[in-house]
Chains A and B, each alone.
Chain A
Amino acid sequence: MRELAKSALKVFEKTGVDFGDIRTEERKSTTIRIANEQLQALSSVVRKGFSVRAFRRGAWGYSSGTSFTLDSVRRAAEAAARIAHANSARGLPRSSLKSIKPMKRRLKPVVQIDPANIGLDEKTELAMTVSRAQRIGPKVASTFAIYGEWDHAFEVANTVGTDVSWREVRTRIGGQAVAAEGDKRDFAYDFTDGTGGYEIVKAVDPNEMGKTIAEEAIELLTAKKPPGGMMTVITDPDISGLLAHEVMGHASEGDEITKRRSFLTDIVGKKVGSPLVTMYDDGTYPGAHGTIQFDGEGTPGHKTRIIDRGVYAGYMHSLETSGTLKMPLTGNGRAENYSRRVWVRMTNTYFAPGDDKFDEIVEETKDGLLTHKSISGMEDPVGGGFQAVALMGHLVKNGEIGPAVRGMTLTGKALEILKSVDMASREFKLSGGFCGKGEEDYVPVSSGGPYMRSKIIVGGG
């Protein structure tokens, strides 16, 4: 890496760009898929590549490759510099990179049990157990389980003098059951993941996970259509997290602010929610799926307060948005991999827990809906609209949890929802996943929060 970095940085010096860096990656992963209690696929991936980028007067040039020769890296750096020069000559609006001090660090991952030290047979059996445990009756039409591990090694060097390296290790176990009865068909899922070693999946009871997935899929076959319209909704941590991530999170990404595309532009210090609403993006959260030691620019992971007791506190930044907006650097410059650009991305985004107990929230709800798990959510940084699809829900009547209802769509204006939050639980959970921005650039993240009671529009089912 040293020689490759030197080669790239030398090109950047010669070509007179304002800033340049090189990121090398070695991405190893193993995935085991079990379908209907049979091995569907075992796949091991090793992808190695480098990305170089050059910045000049507001324009970026990128290039990347998978050939680790001095000549390839040099040519890539020249291409990046050429592109940056060409576009900067168009007289782009000036932006500036945050002034940083060079950092030299080599960090090891926080891993108790390195997945590389666990045999494929044990991992396969773990996933097989999740699949087998779903087979609880004739209504279970299909079972599926997946085990995944990712071990990614990074090195970043730049023209400022930064030279850092680190590894990100993540593991995941999960499953999905399809239940069918006549022409009715529905599904349920569960998974556990995080940044860390095999200890994360080892802590899961695979029998319990599989059985619960199947029970929920079967329950959905007889679930009723949910009520529609504006109603009191107790969002579970998954749906609370989608509200944090999809609407408030994406709209708090610094590049959306510099582009003035976000409905949260110029809103620091203003009230955006009830006093029960505090929100963070936290790349340092121990063990969570979006936790990072450094971002893709070599900036250490950071805990950023976005909303403080209902008042908007600040945005997330890369080197460029931090420099342009003259705001603190937050370690949110991330890339999906070496063949993708770096831009502002979330890590672990969540609402902080409240003081209420979950049971108390239910007891104090006369007529409402309790959501259970999410299927999808969609960003809307321009309009500030919330759209999330819940896997299922339960009616809440006179303080008691009632019958199950089918998956539903939750919508409304995010700020109106947040201002209506009147209870938040002590119980708190993060759920992992991969986040795309626009339609691509998927990075590992998590989102979550407490059970939160608010007013939301419910539709579909």
Chain B
Amino acid sequence: MTLLSLADDAVKNALAAGAQAAEAFAMTYRTKSVYIEQDVPKVAEERTEAGIGLKVAVGKRVAFTSASLEGPRDVRTATATAMKSVKMVPEDPDFPGFTSFRVMGKVEKTHDAKTAETPVEELVEMALELTAAGKVRKDVTVPKGIFRVQDYELRVANSEGAEGSHRGTLVFLYFTAKSGTKTRAGEGIIKSLGVSLSQQDFQAIGKRLGARSVENLEASALREKIAGTVVMDPLDLGEMLIQTVGSAVNAEDVRRKRSPWQDKRGQKVASEGINIADMPRLPAGLSSCAVDDEGNPTADRPLVADGILRDFVHDHYNAALLGGKGGNAFRRAVATIEGAYARPAQCSISNLVVEPGTQSLDEIIGSVQKGVYIEKLAAPEVNQFSGAFALEVRNAAIIEKGELKDHVKYALLVGNMFDGLKNVAATGRELRPSHGFLTATGCCYLPPLAFDGFELVGQK
């Protein structure tokens, strides 16, 4: 018996206990983390966890329960809880039952054995390499850094014969640097994600981190309003797109009339030439997998083609109600896999991919007469329903006649992301991953984008 095989046992147990249908999701994972504080590895850790999520149905009544997993006793307890709950909930007249696919195969490069087996002591060395590279000047320190590697394995099975397995590795870096003096400080923040350690260039990340803190320190307060072209780095922009596009294409939000794109299939939602797809089969993608978290096979799906909305992403439930194809039910976040078994699968993007263009970031900046380059925002939060945002910038530089000029701060980037998508001025060629809220499912791969219509407003 392995802990993952308890998914199959849970289904059998539930049926034996009176469920008419059942679906189980079991996972095991290991976490190794290093926390840098004030340039030194203050905390290091190794953790393991296993858990199971069990959904049972009696007629049209459905309940979900989950439990951390030590052995068969936890499965029996979870089953008993689920069966008790399911008798007390109202019917869901739309419940379509569970899927019946048996998914084989896997997506390439989602699991890196070398990454999974790297001991925490080596991760400490890598974190220190990044930290040392971040000290680009004497006054720069690295007060805080999180470096986490996870490897996980999951199995999904249900009473209709569906089954599938997946394994992956995740690498997450979040570091801050501080420069300046006691009375005048600048901060740089950097994040990086991937599925293998080999994707991380610790020297380059560290140097950029340190440089951001210096640029923030030396930035001048913006006093005017800049209404030219806004070029945005992928990381925070990706988070903004996950909140807006990720929700707008979500069939659950469409069905519940929460999506601003609910009636816009076949209509223009983005500039010509903009292509956005959901790509769960992307090799080495953070959210890549052959099977989704309720047992459906995944498939790459064009969502926006040449600026026109073509499709939404569906889990099994919404596919049955709206007539789409399932394969987009997820519980796994990409910044951390922790606790994924404790959440019911929900309709979600996997890897939302904005098709890259042909220009490098330098070429895009070189083509802008008057504008601003936004590299880091304080918190990239957008109203997912209206698309409106007003966000404080942390690292930004004025662009004049194709060249980066002064770095600025104390300024708000103001605009509307849904309008912005219709005013994309340029698309870069280098794809980078970005993620949403810590436990948010799905992620976004995108290049740098340039927008017309946003404003940078000084606060002074």
Per a CB cutoff under 8 Å, which of B66, B144, B191 touches A43?
Answer: B66
Residues of B within 8 A of A92 (CB): 40-42
Asked if B197 CB lies within 8 Å of chain A CBs, one says no
Task: State the Cβ distance, B336 to closest chain A Cβ, in Å.
Answer: 7
Per a CB cutoff under 8 Å, which of B43, B92, B438 touches A440?
Answer: B438
Per a CB cutoff under 8 Å, which of B64, B143, B388, B389 touches A259?
Answer: B143
Asked if B342 CB lies within 8 Å of chain A CBs, one says yes
Residue of A49, A120, A387, A459 most packed against chain B (CB within 10 A)? A459
| Per-residue contact bits, chain B 130-166, to A (CB 8 Å; 1 contact, 0 not) | 0000000000010110100000000000000000000
Nearest A-chain residue to B71, judged by Cβ: A67
Task: State the Cβ distance, B211 to closest chain A Cβ, in Å.
Answer: 16
A residues 364-395 near B (Cβ < 8 Å) are 375-376, 378, 380, 382-383, 385, 387, 389
Asked if A315 CB lies within 8 Å of chain B CBs, one says no
Residues of A within 8 A of B69 (CB): 66
B66 A44 Cβ-Cβ under 8 A:
yes
Nearest A-chain residue to B70, judged by Cβ: A67
Residues of A within 8 A of B65 (CB): 43-46
Asked if A292 CB lies within 8 Å of chain B CBs, one says no
A459 B339 Cβ-Cβ under 8 A:
no
Asked if A14 CB lies within 8 Å of chain B CBs, one says no
B residues 374-398 near A (Cβ < 8 Å) are 378-379, 381, 383, 385-386, 388-392
Residues of A within 8 A of B326 (CB): none
Q: At the interface with chain B, which of A3-11, A179-187, A326-334?
A: A179-187
Residues of A within 8 A of B186 (CB): 382
Asked if B358 CB lies within 8 Å of chain A CBs, one says no
A43 B344 Cβ-Cβ under 8 A:
yes
Residues of B within 8 A of A263 (CB): 185
Residues of A within 8 A of B37 (CB): 255, 259
Asked if A443 CB lies within 8 Å of chain B CBs, one says no
B51 A36 Cβ-Cβ under 8 A:
no
B contacts with A, residue count (CB < 8 A) = 80
A contacts with B, residue count (CB < 8 A) = 84
A46 B77 Cβ-Cβ under 8 A:
yes
In the bound complex, how far is the Cα of B384 from the Cα of A407, in angstroms?
13
In the bound complex, how far is the Cα of B93 from the Cα of A36, in angstroms?
13
A411 B124 Cβ-Cβ under 8 A:
no
Task: State the Cβ distance, B243 to closest chain A Cβ, in Å.
Answer: 11
Residues of A within 8 A of B201 (CB): none
Asked if A212 CB lies within 8 Å of chain B CBs, one says no
Nearest B-chain residue to A221, judged by Cβ: B386
| Per-residue contact bits, chain A 324-368, to B (CB 8 Å; 1 contact, 0 not) | 000000000000010101000000000000000000000000000
In the bound complex, how far is the Cα of B48 from the Cα of A457, in angstroms?
47
Residues of B within 8 A of A258 (CB): 38
Asked if B373 CB lies within 8 Å of chain A CBs, one says no
Asked whether A65 and B47 contact (CB < 8 A) given A42-B63, A389-B381, the answer is yes
A376 B381 Cβ-Cβ under 8 A:
yes
Q: At the interface with chain A, which of B82-90, B277-285, B359-367?
A: B82-90
In the bound complex, how far is the Cα of B379 from the Cα of A251, in angstroms?
17
B66 A228 Cβ-Cβ under 8 A:
no
Residues of A within 8 A of B343 (CB): 43
In the bound complex, how far is the Cα of B392 from the Cα of A61, in angstroms?
37
| Per-residue contact bits, chain B 443-460, to A (CB 8 Å; 1 contact, 0 not) | 000000000000001010
Asked if B46 CB lies within 8 Å of chain A CBs, one says yes
| Per-residue contact bits, chain B 44-55, to A (CB 8 Å; 1 contact, 0 not) | 111111110000
Asked whether A409 and B42 contact (CB < 8 A) given A120-B89, A186-B385, the answer is no
In the bound complex, how far is the Cα of B381 from the Cα of A376, in angstroms?
8
B336 A459 Cβ-Cβ under 8 A:
no
| Per-residue contact bits, chain B 342-353, to A (CB 8 Å; 1 contact, 0 not) | 111000000000
Residues of B within 8 A of A64 (CB): 45, 47-49
A457 B459 Cβ-Cβ under 8 A:
yes
Asked if B174 CB lies within 8 Å of chain A CBs, one says yes
Asked if B115 CB lies within 8 Å of chain A CBs, one says no
Asked if A93 CB lies within 8 Å of chain B CBs, one says yes
A378 B82 Cβ-Cβ under 8 A:
no
A44 B81 Cβ-Cβ under 8 A:
yes
Q: At the interface with chain B, which of A83-91, A162-170, A304-312?
A: A83-91
Residues of A within 8 A of B120 (CB): 83
Asked if A422 CB lies within 8 Å of chain B CBs, one says no
A119 B88 Cβ-Cβ under 8 A:
yes
Asked if A154 CB lies within 8 Å of chain B CBs, one says no
Per a CB cutoff under 8 Å, which of B45, B391, B412 touches A341?
Answer: B45
In the bound complex, how far is the Cα of B338 from the Cα of A256, in angstroms?
26
B459 A412 Cβ-Cβ under 8 A:
yes
A183 B260 Cβ-Cβ under 8 A:
yes
- A residues in contact (CB < 8 Å) with B: 35-36, 38-39, 41-49, 58-68, 79-80, 83, 86-87, 90, 92-93, 119-121, 124, 128, 141-142, 144, 178, 180, 183-187, 228, 255-256, 258-261, 263, 265-266, 337, 339, 341, 375-376, 378, 380, 382-383, 385, 387, 389, 406-409, 411-412, 436, 438-440, 442, 457, 459-461
* CB-defined A-B contacts under 8 Å, sample of 10: A36-B257, A39-B90, A45-B342, A66-B48, A87-B41, A178-B385, A259-B143, A259-B144, A382-B187, A459-B457
Given contacts A412-B459, A439-B191, A461-B388, 7 further A-B contacts (CB under 8 A): A43-B63, A63-B47, A90-B40, A178-B257, A259-B37, A260-B143, A460-B414
